[in-house]
Amino acid sequence: MTNATFEVLTLTDEARNVVLDAIAGEQPNEGLGLYVEVTGTQGNGYAYDLYFSEVKDAPEGSAVGHDGDLAIVIPAASISRLQGSRLEFATEGGGGLVLVNPNHPTPQEMNPGVPAEILAMGIESELARRAVAVLDEQVNPSIASHGGRADLVALDDGTKVAYIKMSGGCQGCAMSRLTLTQGIETALRAALPELTDVRDVTDHASGENPFYADAT
């Protein structure tokens, strides 16, 4: 059961009670609300930050509302990305809050290091298909032992630049640059000498072992 008094995000009764109990444990807690913010992407979805702060300090343009007795603040940049979401409490795995979001990142959000016009080219060209084959047949089997994977996300057929995204054990790994230059790039250039560059567009600030630390 949810209390749909706030159109952007609602909570199940269980989730609302968990959040209200947590706020009650904060000192001082007067005027606190639940802030929910999209911080980036993770896997095929969004990454989030949930925290408590005073409602009166909500940034300009934020969506501010209530779900029952709980005040909720959604920063402006996250409103459309969270529209229609629901916060639930899952009992599996020891229990915890789970955000169910019907919205999904756009290709540009998933690959911010790739120009939109290059993403729009897709990876259906002959050169792109050959690059995918090299990754699937030569590269990924060798880095799978580390839980890693590399995928072609875009290829500029004009400049012959390949854009690669790492995932799994390679994302955020301090050795990922070495993996790219001495492994992935070497394999791709050997098989596809027409390539002029191989660029890593992985978000290394996320993943299990990020080596680009968040300054905040």
Task: Report which DSSP code applies to 138.
Answer: I
Given a cut of 70, whether residue 111 has pLDDT beyond it is yes
Check residue 205 and give its pLDDT. 59
What is the average pLDDT score of the chain?
A: 83
Match 């998933």 to its residue by tokens: 110
Check residue 179 and give its pLDDT. 53
**Structure-model confidence comparison of residues 65 and 95, the more confident one:** 65
% of the chain surpassing 90 pLDDT: 54
Span 140-153, mean pLDDT? 82
Given a cut of 80, whether residue 52 has pLDDT beyond it is yes
Check residue 176 and give its pLDDT. 46
Q: Does domain 110-200 have CATH number 3.40.50.10090?
A: no
Given a cut of 60, whether residue 1 has pLDDT beyond it is no
Question: Structure tokens of 198?
Answer: 């191989």
Check residue 214 and give its pLDDT. 34
pLDDT band at 170 (very low <50, low <70, confident <90, very high): very low
Q: Residue 163: which residues within 8 A CB-CB, separation 6 or more?
A: 111, 113, 114, 118, 152, 153, 154, 155, 156, 199, 201
Check residue 212 and give its pLDDT. 29
Contact between 125 and 66 under an 8 Å Cβ cutoff? The reply is: no
Check residue 181 and give its pLDDT. 52
| Phi and psi torsions of 114, nearest 5° | -115, 125
pLDDT band at 65 (very low <50, low <70, confident <90, very high): very high
Asked if domains 9-104 and 110-200 share a fold, the reply is no
Query: What amino acid occupies position 2?
Result: T
Domain covering 9-104: architecture: Sandwich (2.60)
Check residue 44 and give its pLDDT. 77
Domain ranges of the chain: 9-104, 110-200
Check residue 110 and give its pLDDT. 81
